[in-house]
């Protein structure tokens, strides 16, 4: 049996005798080494195993040796790479650097963030650093502001702090553009609002709203005090576009000041329950403010001349007209608006919404709904008779929404059917303290169909009959509506 050629024999050609001699010498060397290991004291099995392992490695082919050495090199290089990567990991910055980075945020980003924060949170954030304090006073954050002037002793609502009000007047009055005042029932809140208005001499407001959350406290102020404060805003604001002054003692001369300075920009005017304004005063506004698109007022200010002025060629198309018909005293008499005036209004603004709120007693509806009227949204806050609802069905073809809060004990079956026949645009209805038979109600829903997007009917309104019970009616109504419907337990309007 011949020995396999060793590594040196592969590199250079040798003779067979030389190869045999080399192999014999290696064999003798390994035998001597084996005897040496056995003769050593305390060598133990570990030395023998190591010697055996070395002898096995010496007998392995060279190709396997190169592979093992390559694996060792790869593992070594990977460990070195991991060590280098661990060294290259960035250490966390110092907390002071982080704070300095926050302080160096661009003003545009701070402005965007501050716009989403409540006022109190913005005030706390302004104490972080000088940059944030400067952002707190940026004009863009003070264009829109709502003064909440509730008295802590008489109201549970929150109130704007007096120190903040002083700071706004001192530093940001010229930045204010969209301002509203919310006052409670106390006279002190209304006086505080007037005091602020009288100091807005350097601002040019675009919108102004005076809102009474309870009873109209502005009406309890001296008229001259309120008018002088409001005139300051009218004179200094040359681009006022929206004005809400319901339940205030505004009068005709102050409206003339408003028109003289803001006739080109005024688009919205809400002034319901303003007893000191005459029909001539509101007519002056309509004649001069040709861009007026939304108007809300009481019925006593409505006249044929006002409707014709709003329908003139110079005037833009009206979008929204709200009329509050309120009875101050039982038995009050109301004037009548001609059908030709309403027709002129419809021809000029065919898509305008006419919203009417009625708070009358049953015997005060005489002049209403005798002729066709272009009302789109109709609300009866008090009891209304079957006769009036019958006239509504005959003379309100543009009706979109109808709410009847109360009626007598006589069923409204015929009236509802007539409304469904004549009012082809009706899409919302609410019935409160009324009576309707289940059969008539199902027929009404069937005639209106799926265009009824809102159907708010209290359960007490529906009277079971020979065709439907209360347990069956919701299935029938749901079938015609195309959605699940149940009567309401409480009114939702």
Highest mean pLDDT out of 78-92, 96-110, 127-141: 127-141
Report d(CA 128, CA 131) in Å as an integer.
Answer: 8
377 φ, ψ (degrees, to nearest 5): -130, 120
Highest mean pLDDT out of 173-177, 340-344, 431-435, 456-460: 340-344
- Position 277 pLDDT exceeds 50: yes
pLDDT given at position 23: 46
CB 315 within 8 A of CB 292: yes
| β pairing state of 207-212 and 353-359 | unpaired
182 or 98: which leads in pLDDT:
182
Every domain of the chain and the residues it spans: 104-141, 375-492
Percent of the chain with pLDDT strictly greater than 70: 77
Per-residue pLDDT of 1-47, as tens digits, reads: 444 444 444 444 444 455 445 545 544 544 444 444 444 444 444 44
pLDDT given at position 209: 95
pLDDT given at position 459: 86
2 or 74: which leads in pLDDT:
74
Percent of the chain with pLDDT strictly greater than 90: 51
211 or 12: which leads in pLDDT:
211
Mean pLDDT of 290-295: 96
Contact partners, residue 149, CB within 8 Å, separation at least 6: 159, 160, 181, 182, 183, 184, 189, 192, 193
Q: What is the CATH number of domain 104-141?
A: 1.20.1280.50
pLDDT given at position 115: 86
Report d(CA 406, CA 111) in Å as an integer.
Answer: 51
Lowest mean pLDDT among 2-6, 276-280, 456-460: 2-6
Which token pair is 325? 């018909």
Per-residue pLDDT of 48-63, as tens digits, reads: 344 444 444 444 444 4
Mean pLDDT of 164-174: 86
Per-residue pLDDT of 396-418, as tens digits, reads: 999 999 999 888 778 899 999 99
Range 400-403 contact pairs with CB under 8 angstroms and sequence separation of 24 or more: 400/353, 400/376, 400/425, 400/426, 400/427, 400/428, 401/376, 401/377, 401/426, 401/427, 401/428, 401/429, 401/454, 402/378, 402/426, 402/428, 402/429, 402/430, 403/378, 403/379, 403/429, 403/430, 403/432, 403/493
């Amino acid at each position: 049996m011949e020995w396999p050629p060793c590594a040196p024999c592969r590199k250079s050609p040798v003779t067979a005798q030389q190869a045999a001699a080399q192999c014999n010498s290696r064999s003798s060397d390994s035998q001597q080494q084996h005897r040496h290991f056995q003769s050593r004291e305390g060598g133990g099995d570990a030395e023998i195993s190591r010697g055996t392992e070395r002898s096995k490695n010496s007998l392995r082919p060279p190709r396997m040796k190169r592979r093992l050495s390559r694996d060792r090199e790869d593992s070594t290089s990977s460990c070195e790479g991991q060590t280098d990567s661990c060294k290259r990991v960035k250490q966390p910055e110092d907390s002071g650097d982080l704070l300095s980075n926050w302080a160096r945020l661009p003003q545009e980003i701070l402005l965007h963030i501050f716009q989403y924060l409540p006022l109190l949170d913005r005030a706390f954030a302004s104490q972080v650093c000088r940059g944030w304090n400067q952002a707190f006073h940026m004009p863009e954050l003070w264009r829109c502001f709502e003064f909440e002037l509730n008295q802590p002793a008489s109201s549970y609502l929150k109130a704007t702090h007096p120190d903040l009000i002083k700071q706004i007047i001192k530093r940001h009055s010229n930045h204010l553009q969209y301002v509203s005042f919310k006052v409670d029932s106390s006279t002190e809140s209304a006086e505080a609002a007037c005091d602020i208005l009288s100091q807005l001499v350097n601002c040019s407001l675009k919108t102004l709203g005076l809102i009474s959350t309870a009873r109209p406290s502005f009406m309890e102020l001296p008229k001259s005090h309120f008018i002088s404060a409001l005139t300051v805003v009218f004179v200094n604001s040359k681009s006022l576009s929206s004005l809400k002054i319901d339940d205030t003692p505004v009068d005709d001369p102050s409206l003339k000041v408003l028109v003289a300075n803001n006739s080109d920009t005024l688009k919205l005017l809400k002034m319901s329950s303003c007893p000191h304004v005459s029909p001539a005063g509101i007519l002056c506004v309509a004649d001069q403010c040709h861009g007026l698109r939304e108007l809300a007022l009481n019925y006593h200010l409505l006249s044929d001349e006002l409707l014709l002025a709003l329908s003139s060629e110079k005037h833009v198309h009206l979008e929204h007209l709200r009329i509050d018909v309120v009875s101050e005293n039982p038995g009050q008499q109301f004037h009548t608006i001609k059908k030709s005036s309403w027709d002129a209004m419809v021809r000029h603004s065919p898509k305008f919404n006419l919203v009417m709120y009625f708070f009358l007693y049953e015997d005060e509806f005489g002049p209403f709904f005798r002729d066709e009227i272009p009302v789109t949204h109709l609300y009866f806050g008090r009891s209304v008779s079957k006769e009036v609802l019958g006239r509504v069905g005959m003379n309100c073809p543009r009706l979109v929404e109808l709410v009847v809060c109360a009626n007598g004990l006589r069923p409204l079956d015929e009236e509802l059917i007539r409304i469904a026949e004549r009012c082809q645009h009706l899409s919302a209805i609410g019935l409160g303290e009324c009576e309707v038979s289940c059969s008539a109600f199902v027929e009404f829903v069937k005639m209106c169909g799926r265009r009824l997007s809102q159907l708010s009917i209290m359960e007490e309104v529906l009277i079971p009959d020979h065709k439907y019970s209360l347990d069956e009616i919701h299935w029938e109504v749901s079938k015609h509506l195309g959605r699940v419907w149940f009567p309401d337990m409480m009114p939702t309007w």
